[in-house]
């Protein structure tokens, strides 16, 4: 018998990206392939939380694609799906500010998401 219950994962998100998820403009979340995210899969629920607040937004994982680095991810997914308010090059700088080079070597995950609900 297999367990088909969706797992719920809580991840922090900066306000600017949280707001893009809320309005539906951000459909791809970018993460380093940390060991705790290596098994994230379609159907899982991500509860994004703005650090230090009770604001959350729940999304469902629609697809997960692994890339060797952030450049390949941005080229493969299209920058506007990740952050429509910034150019590809601006996004690359922003992502690498969040994740230093030693983290990027773990691999990059493009997580396609669909909003479920919002709690304040």
pLDDT in tens, 38-54: 999 999 999 999 988 99
Record the tokens describing residue 2, joined without a space. 């297999």
What CATH code is carried by the domain that includes residue 28? 2.30.130.30
Does residue 3 belong to any structural domain of this protein?
no
Does residue 103 belong to any structural domain of this protein?
yes
Distances (CA, A) of 114 to 9, 60, 81: 15, 5, 12
Sign of CA dihedral 98, 112, 58, 23: positive
Domain range enclosing 22? 8-119
| Residue whose tokens read 């297999």 | 2
Record the tokens describing residue 47, joined without a space. 């509860």
Which residues, given as ranges, of the chain have pLDDT below 70?
A: 1-4, 117-120
The answer to whether residues 92 and 71 touch, using CB atoms and an 8 Å cutoff, is: yes
Number of independent structural domains in the chain = 1
Nearest alpha-carbon partner for 13 in 44, 45, 49: 49
pLDDT for position 94: 95
Does residue 87 belong to any structural domain of this protein?
yes
The pTM of this model reads 0.90
């Amino acid at each position: 018998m297999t367990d088909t219950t969706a797992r719920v994962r809580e991840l922090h998100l900066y306000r600017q990206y949280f707001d893009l998820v809320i309005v539906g403009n951000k459909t791809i979340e970018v993460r380093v392939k940390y060991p705790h995210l290596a098994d994230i899969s379609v159907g899982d629920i991500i509860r994004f939380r703005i650090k230090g607040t009770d604001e959350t937004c729940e999304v469902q994982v629609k697809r997960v694609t692994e890339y060797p680095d952030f450049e390949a991810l941005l080229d493969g997914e299209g920058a506007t799906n990740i952050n429509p308010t910034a150019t590809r090059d601006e996004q690359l700088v922003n992502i690498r500010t969040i994740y230093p080079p030693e983290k990027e070597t773990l691999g990059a995950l493009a997580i396609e998401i669909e909003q479920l609900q919002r709690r304040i």
